[in-house]
Amino acid sequence: MDLTDALRTTGAVREFSDQPVSHEDLAAILDVARFAPSGGNRQGWRVIVVDDVDSRRALRDAYLDAWHDYVAHGLAGQVAFSPLASADERQAARDLRDAAIASSDPQGFAENLDTVPALLVVAIDLASLSATDRDLDRYHFIGGASVYPFVWSILLAARERDLAGVLTTVGTRNEPRLRELFHIPSTWAVAAIVALGHPRRPRTRLTRRAVDQFARRDVFDGPSITSHPDVSTSATPGSSH
């Protein structure tokens, strides 16, 4: 597959057919994804393929519980779990949790996570991370650079095999439950849950903001870098397709 085409068509997919994903396919996908970069080439990730029915249901329950909190933020008109949220904004979201539960969709992705053809829990060894922002007086995220390229490579490798999926971090809100469920050591963190399967709907070309909307020269608010004329521009921040 052409790399540019893959990058422009690998969107977040949450609806799958009933066709299973074999361990052979997963092994082949991970065999490609393992070449992703990581700090010091330490490759501190661990992938848990969740096959057990009871474990899948427990994962779904932990994820759905966190999803209700996520939806509550949306009902409050907020970016979910924003690191810049005030105490009042956080409380406003908590106050809408019951409304979020009431709006739950029986056919939704979160409600049916346990039925996804392939479920992967990706954990990262905290000892392997070079978190250069560790001592800064702000939200810390730099350590993720040593795991999320690997997760994205999983999705790209799956795309080459006509599979699709989504990287989701919602479940990490209930990391203590996941740590107990999957016997994850205390020195490791849950980085993502990856759902994979055969897409139920045809793929479409993605749309994103044009380059001149986010790329500047020399300083933060410097002159724009002009977009290539073939770049699609109709999407807004937050769009997943």
Mean pLDDT value across the chain:
93
pLDDT at site 1: 82
- Give the model's pLDDT for residue 228: 56
Query: Quick one: CATH architecture of 3-200?
Result: 3-Layer(aba) Sandwich (3.40)
Cβ distance 50 to 21 under 8 Å? no
The tally of CA atoms less than 13 A away on the side-chain side of residue 227 is 12
Residue pointed to by tokens 């770049």:
231
Q: Please say if the pLDDT value at position 238 is more than 60.
A: no
pLDDT(235) > 60: no
Answer whether residue 118 shows pLDDT above 70. Answer: yes
pLDDT of residue 231: 47
Amino acid 236: pLDDT: 43
**Global confidence as pTM:** 0.91
The pLDDT of 93-118, averaged and rounded, is 97
Per-residue DSSP letter, 199: B
DSSP 56-93: HHHHHHHHHHHHHHHHHHHHTTS-TT-TT--HHHHHHH
Residues of the chain with CATH 3.40.109.10: 3-200
- The CB density around residue 182, as the number of other CB atoms within 10 Å, is 17
Alpha-carbon torsion 51, 55, 56, 62, what sign? negative
> Is a pLDDT exceeding 50 seen at residue 208?
yes
